[in-house]
Amino acid sequence: MELIKDKTFGGERPLFGIEHTRLEGITITDGESGIKCCRDIEADGCKFYGKYPWWHVDGSRIRNCYFAPGSRSAIWYSNGMLMEDCVIDGPKFFREMRGLELNRVTINDADETFWKVSGLKLRDVTLHGGTYPFMFCEDVDADGLRSDANYVFQYVRRAVVRNAHITTKDSFWETEDVTVYDSQLDGEYLGWHSKNLRLVRCHISGEQPLCYCRGLVLEDCTFDPACDRIFEDSDVQATILGHVTEIKNPRTGTIRCGSLGRLTYDRFAKAPGDCKITTDDGQPSPTRQEA
């Protein structure tokens, strides 16, 4: 493998088409498309400042590298990539890719990051800021994710998320075949319009979670007291630990919880409206019919 070490490159496409090359301590300055149409590339201790520095690269191993704010849209159309111990300050990373693995990576501008990635594996990854990360991703395996970006995991197919702490708005919308284990999910309107969303031992907070769902399953989850209008127009199988403030207009299924403050069925409830609700405290569930 050829070694390029401790050099600085700028301008347009300075390392176009290289193969079987290890980059150590190099810097890509302001410019465009520093590494493009390449194959079998290793980068260790490198810094990237220019736009689009890593496009159409198959077979990448990127370690201990830094991507500056100016390196926007840095990594697209690149398959078979491993990235470890890196810091990313630029937006719109990782698009149209297959076979991407990140370990111990911090992304400080997560705006429109991870779009249309298939086969995405994350371990101890942190996302800050921005909107719509993970749009249209498939076959996602995430453990230890920390994120405060908005509109996370929309239109995702086939994903398993473990030990996450996600603070967001409108997360897991329009997802299909997604399971979340042992995670804290904070924010409004969780999981709307999802299919086969399964939450296991999760803590949920925020307004109106889990509405308009099909095939929704909850196992030993807990809800913050501020959660209200839960499960509207959803079919659901749920075991909930502790108190639930309000369930509204569930479509069908079974729900068991520790105790329930309010069950609402109003004129907007959808048929069949036959959800069976039981509480561990033995008290009858209060019902309010709104005009």
pTM of the model: 0.93
Average confidence score pLDDT of the chain: 94
Task: For 92-127, write each residue's pLDDT tens digit.
Answer: 999 999 999 999 999 999 999 999 999 999 999 999
Reported for 187-192, long-range contacts at CB under 8 A and 24+ positions apart, including other chains, are: 191/216
pLDDT at 287 over 90: no
Contacts of 239 (CB under 8 A, 6+ apart): 218, 219, 220, 221, 256, 257
User: What is the C-alpha separation between 3 and 163, in angstroms, rounded?
Assistant: 39
**Whether the Cβ atoms of residue 267 and residue 289 lie closer than 8 Å to each other:** no
User: What is the C-alpha separation between 239 and 203, in angstroms, rounded?
Assistant: 13
Contacts of 282 (CB under 8 A, 6+ apart): none
User: What is the C-alpha separation between 216 and 52, in angstroms, rounded?
Assistant: 40
Q: What is the pLDDT of residue 283?
A: 66
Task: For 152-201, write each residue's pLDDT tens digit.
Answer: 999 999 999 999 999 998 999 999 999 999 999 999 999 999 999 999 99
User: What is the C-alpha separation between 68 and 89, in angstroms, rounded?
Assistant: 5
Q: What is the pLDDT of residue 30?
A: 84
Contacts of 251 (CB under 8 A, 6+ apart): 233, 234, 235, 269, 270, 271, 272, 273, 275
pLDDT at 52 over 60: yes
**By C-alpha distance, which of 33, 122, 36 is closest to 84?**
122
pLDDT at 291 over 50: no
Is the Cα dihedral 68, 134, 221, 145 positive or negative?
Answer: negative
User: What is the C-alpha separation between 19 and 36, in angstroms, rounded?
Assistant: 10
**Whether the Cβ atoms of residue 192 and residue 175 lie closer than 8 Å to each other:** no
pLDDT at 89 over 90: yes
pLDDT at 286 over 80: no
User: What is the C-alpha separation between 153 and 133, in angstroms, rounded?
Assistant: 6
User: What is the C-alpha separation between 220 and 238, in angstroms, rounded?
Assistant: 8
Q: What is the pLDDT of residue 288?
A: 57
User: What is the C-alpha separation between 11 and 202, in angstroms, rounded?
Assistant: 49
- pLDDT level of residue 45 (50, 70, 90 thresholds): very high
Contacts of 34 (CB under 8 A, 6+ apart): 9, 13, 14, 15, 28, 48, 50, 52, 53, 54
Rounded mean pLDDT of 211-235?
A: 97
